[in-house]
Structure 1
Amino acid sequence: MLLCMFAASRIALQTSLHDESQSVQRQLTLHAQAMLQRVDRYRTLPEVLALDNQLKDALTHPLSAAEVDKLNRKLEQANGASRASTLTLIDKGGRALAASNWRDSHTNVGEDYSFRPYVTQALSHGSGRFYGIGMTTGLPGYFLSQAIRADDGSVLGLIAIKILLQELEGEWLQSPDIVLASDEHGVIFLSNRDEWRYRLLQPLSAKDQQEVQDTHQYADQTLQPLSYRLNQTAEGRGVLASFSQPQLADPVLWLRMDLPESRWQLHLLHDISHNQSTSHWAAIAAGGLWLAAALLVLYIRQRQRLAALRQRSRKELETVLHQHAQELRTAQDGIVQAAKQAETGLSRSLQHLPQGVVVVDPQLRLVAWNSRYIELFRYPPELMRVGQPIETLIRHNAKRGLLGKGDVDQAIQRRLEHLRSGSPHLHESAKGDGTVLEIRGNPLPDGGFVTSYADITSYKNTARELRNLADTLEQRIAERTHDLAQAKQEAERANRYKTRFVASAVHDLLQPLNAARIFTSLLPAYLQDDAGRLLAQRVDKSLASQDAILTSLLDISRMESGQLEVHVRDFTISSLLEVVHNNFALQAEHEGLSLRCIPSQLVVRSDEALLRRILQNFVSNAIRYSHKGRIVVGCRREHRPNGDHVRIEVHDQGPGIPPALQKEIFEEFRRLDEGHADDRGTGLGLAIVERLGKLLGHEIGLRSTLGKGSIFWVSVPLGNAAAVAPTLQEPSPSTRSDSPLQGAAIWYVEDDPPTRDATCALLQRWGCKVLLAANAPEALAHAQPGNAPQLVLLDVHLGQLYGPDVYAQLCDRWGQQPPVILLTAEGDSTLRRQAAERGWGFLAKPVRPPALRALMSQTFLRGREGGNQ
């Protein structure tokens, strides 16, 4: 049994640790991705600032106080847009010329940083990176540096950015595990537990100690050793370890992961107490099974012995039962006989009973009793004698008030008549001192009556306490139900506040992002070298990725708050498949893939825009995670109890998705590592797909095989073909006019200066005449009869003013209503519908230049057609 228990315990522990190791490894991968994303967010900022001509010029000559102030303000503005900690301009001697924290008491300006590795690395290799505690601010951070070169290639100085990672530690606090990050020396510099920070995984060599001291990497922090013992290697990638300093009560599962490009390691210490508990239960179960088998064998043998004895014992059992029945029949006769033979009336046969017992003959005279009967009623000795009428005892009790209120004689006669009738009875009676008696009476075969009195006071008290406890529990349940209802209301209010906060935050973030994207769209026209264009493309991709994340967050917020309207109608699916093919064919070809959309004339019932969003996410993911082969989009009819449906499927030949991750990928910020290096996705696409499926009532599904590919599908109900009206294809704007924007007079009303400047530059590049670009008060002051433009570009939120109200005032002053296009960072469906009803254009920020140009061209061409008619 012990061997069986030991083997089961070891097998269960190894199996549990293997599964646990895989789960913890995925968690560690998510922490690593979050850490790399935080660093990647600021990676390109030093590269962009290194190309700035103003910074280059500042490193070529001594700076005046005015020039230093101007540089400080420039770096402060750049730092405010990127949310970095500090931006510092350093000359090739290591002295800080300007910094974004010039207003702080601990400013970097004038400090010597020549001993810092990120300075020496940038001066010698062009770029550098270093983690340490700031000598000026005393705050730890991650430093990224980029050399600033002259036109001849010589190094003039460098620009450095310091990134704070304390927010990352705050996110780690939500994990029940211990999360650590160590540098190349084995020093733990990040942790979600304070006592683990600045500890050594192994002793520092003399060279490493000297390097840490020379660079002042950890300032005055004392680096204490980490005391641990490795117990064994677990199944998977982890090891079991016990820690004594800092002390952990139980062994933990220790997993490590190397972070690329940094020589850092990420560690995760996971509690395995439940795995050990599983091992113990497995041992107990194995021992129980072994014992059950042994007991089964013994039981079978016992059954065999019992079968041999059954026949022999049957006659003996019948004899015993006959004797027992005879004894029961004569028991009452024996009690009466024993009472008659007793001189005092006390029966030895009744003395062992816990109840008080009294026996009367047919003439209702005392025959026998026990001492418990005398104790219960406290009768005087002179009353207790054989032959005493029972009426004397009842009358004695009546004088003491034991018969209750009312006529005493009637109560006595009622009890005597009941005894004479010989009817059995059972009832309860409460005495004045609180004692409760259960009175049970039965007639004797030859006449007379036997009555027993049992004290059930404790039973009654217990029952009363149980009733009180039940009432108390019901009251507590009601209170807890009320508390839960209040907690639910508070949670719902918090969820509504969170939704409003996300929508507001995304709106504020989209404003500067809109200007940045428009500026980057203009950069290629001003850059002559390939390196500059490549850098501009990288910046645009980074902004596009940020745009996708914010747009996705806004969509999720709108869906959670119920602001996303659904317009369900019948339409042919062929047009939807054609749009998907046109949007992604070139992208797939660029990635070396073949995209094919199989035509279909089926009619479905859904919201066309939202269904197109689902398919676009499926196809985009297929392109992102497939490295070769083809992608096929097709339809398959299916019969269901609730009606016929069409299942639209997207097939790819990617790496496939493990079964354990097929549910997790539909969660927010969950993504796989197999995507293209420059397009890893935001991790929100499939989360939006799942929410859109629930909103439309469409089932979303996935089938995947590792190494062969995946199939994502959405099931849509069939529609009514007769309800779909044939549509005539309108000629494209390009066939009507070659350049409808050339020389067009435009007013642009926007309260955000960067966005206004970027959009004006874009409009002028298209050949438009921007007659006015100002905020709402300036536009109202400039509007006069007769100076109305051909088109008005109008922001919806103009400080305290509302865009459509400002447009109405402008039209009153012009005396006419020129076409207008509304621009907003909020995807308000109500405003979009109102704009469509009034014939206004509508674009959501960040505005994409191709979309703006197409809508403006369409507006001008529609105006010309209206004039011709």
Structure 2
Amino acid sequence: MLFPLRRRTVWTVATLLLGMLLSMLTAGWLTWERTLLAESENYLRQLAVRAQGLTQRVDRYRTLPEVLSLDNELRAALQHPLSAGDVNYLNRKLERANGASQASTLTLIDRHGIAVAASNWRSPRNNVGEDYNFRPYVQQALTTGSGRFYGIGTTTGEPGYFLSQAIYDEGGQVIGLVAIKIALHELERQWLRTTDVVVVADEHGVIFLTSRESWRYRLLQPLSSEDLAMLAATRQYEGQTLTPLHFDVRKQLDNGGQLVRLRDSDLPGRMLLQTLELPHSGWKMHLLHDIRTSLQTSIWAAAAAGGLWLASGLLVLFVRQRQRLARVRQRSRQELETVLRQHAQELRTAQDGIVQAAKQADTGLSRSLEHLPQGVVIIDAELNLVAWNSRYLQLFRYPSELLQVGRPIEDLLRYNARRGLLGPAPMEEAIQRRLQHLRSGKPHLHESAKDDGTVLEIRGNPLPDGGFVTSYADITSYKNAARELRSLADALEQRIVERTRDLAAAKREAEEANRYKTRFVNAAVHDLLQPLNAARMFTSLLPAHVRDEAGRHVVDSIEAALASQDAILTSLLDIARMESGQLEVHVRDFTLDALLHVVHNNFAMLAQSEGLQLRTRAGHYVVRSDEALLRRIVQNFVSNAIRYSRRGRILVGCRREGQFLRIEVHDQGPGIPLSLQKEIFEEFRRLDEGHADDRGTGLGLAIVERLGRLLGHEIGLRSEVGQGSVFWVKVPLGDRAALQPTARPQVTVHTDDAPLQGGVAWYVDDDPGTCSATGALLERWGCHVPFAGGPHEALALASPDSVPQLLLLDVHLGGDLYGPEVYAQLCERWGQTPPVILVTAERDASLRRQAAEKGWGFLAKPVRPPALRALMSQMLLRIREG
């Protein structure tokens, strides 16, 4: 019997596990197919949008060569020999045209393929005089009238997309062409914002645009001998090694997508590849997307299907178990009724038990029922007592004279009714209802509670030959335990609800307090920066009015105090931005030596003025972090070292620790006691050992600690009293292959205020002090300032006859007035859109980006007069050159 039971259990478990496995495989596979196809469709649409952006960027410059090909001066230049002055004039003309379109290079080429003039004539490696006859875009323009070609410049070494247009003489003969070279790196920088890989390959399968620098000039397909000959003749990718990009196609989707596996990349093994052909170019744009999201979705679907199958199987087993238990109870009940019938038969047919029956007639006790834990009573068809057990007597405490064989059960019911055991109904009605139920012979099961708290479970079943057997089980302890458990569960649930409500309220209060604190700090700093900005402007006017040495010393002291106040407010604003999550982080790979070079240039003169020597040792390391925020951490370390060191030298160096690099700043200052090494990273905590005139604000290391948490960089300190201190930050090492080439900006330095002489500027600000100071400063520089005041006065005075050359505008102008909106209203009244410089205490990065996108200037209050003068000069120069 035991072995069949085990086999049945094993088969049941095996069936459950096999069904669960099959359901998981089926659900996972179906979900994988549907999710992968949906994701493929989504990214195909994204690829179409990116392709449209590339096409629009090229189309933006397509008309420029066509317009220049109609220029009479360029046509005339190709029809006769040119002097040096003619070439110089043509170079400047192309330079102006190129500046207006923001293209890379414009070149004028004669019919022999020789560059006559170019917009990059100022560069040492310019196009003038170079032979480009071998380039396809030159040959196409000379033969068909227009051409296009992507390649690396043979003169500049910079890649770009060339568009060319033929120039015809009066007789319709081609005498030359004009070509424009478009830089497409801006698109690649936009592609870096996504985790997907975007590449563009030419008709030979060579990748020339990509969001991963290591994939540039990789091959998607083998090159034929004709392709190699063509690339060599056109020098399209001169100086570059074209290596294949190895990948295998594992699955072909219905919409053209492919599931590929990359063999020589640090990307995930399997990725989704979408391809789109770009019209009229022969190019193909590819997008590679990580499919781990689809895989996770299919795994979760498989897990859900397996759980559902398992739950269903367990439910079926539970139902079958209940059915088996019901059959067992039914069988037990039938066996009990059989025993009772046999007992009654024995009583009726026993010829030798007359004496014993007579003795039992007085007591009614039955030894056959004594072993039962329930109280049991048996009545015959006439509803008279037949037998009972002692447990029945204990439960109801009947007097001995009341229990006799043959006594009507109605007497016992009436006795119980007088004691209140039959409930609140009228006594006769309750008795007759129970007698009628016994006569009907229907089984019953119910519970009854007595006055003393005892709860009885009453079961009644009819006998085959008439009569009734009733059992009474005491279930008081079970009911009490269940009641206590329910009470305890209700109490726990109520406590959980109350605790959850308290926690939610506390969380809301904390968030509201944090938002209030951030708004308060931003508002306070903004209000404080307004008079501080005016003070900086007035201070810049003082040197012209102070002639003696003592007066100049006072002016320098005021300037230093205002700079210190500026640093405090800037630090408070930065802390508020970090705590509110508004400080943006841009993590990338970059070389550390450039960062430390900037730090050395910024602090070398300051250290020398304090009698200290600053040294930096970077090494050729590449780190991964936010370059601006990491530089600020190191600058705060160096600034503290200069502030608290009175002698010796300060060393900035690096120490490698596995895959991390520790940037350390060593000083020979007084050192920090161990008990204070944690406190100095708190706000407004500073030591008293600094220079008497510069003890700091106590915010530098607090900002460092928050920046470290924001970037995920560990910040540390090692110090001994009297021996100096070492502050360090640990950053992860980066990938040198992922470095992005950065173009060094060309900076034009103006040594005088000539651009400002005679310039006309308006200044709009809601702070009268700032308006007065700024207006006086601009007039001192030679600017004419017809208006310096609030926004309402500016709108009232604006007319087509009062258009300034330049507008200086605050952003928050009091009330509901917003600077860019006021600028739009002023331009509407002027009928023109003069250049604008936003001068604001708002340090929102999105506002700065908005100004850069629209070509506006941007200065943060308090404004440094040299920065204002440089920006105004630059913008006025652009106006005059344009």
User: TM-score with structure 1 length normalisation?
Assistant: 0.48
TM-score, normalised by the number of residues in structure 2: 0.48
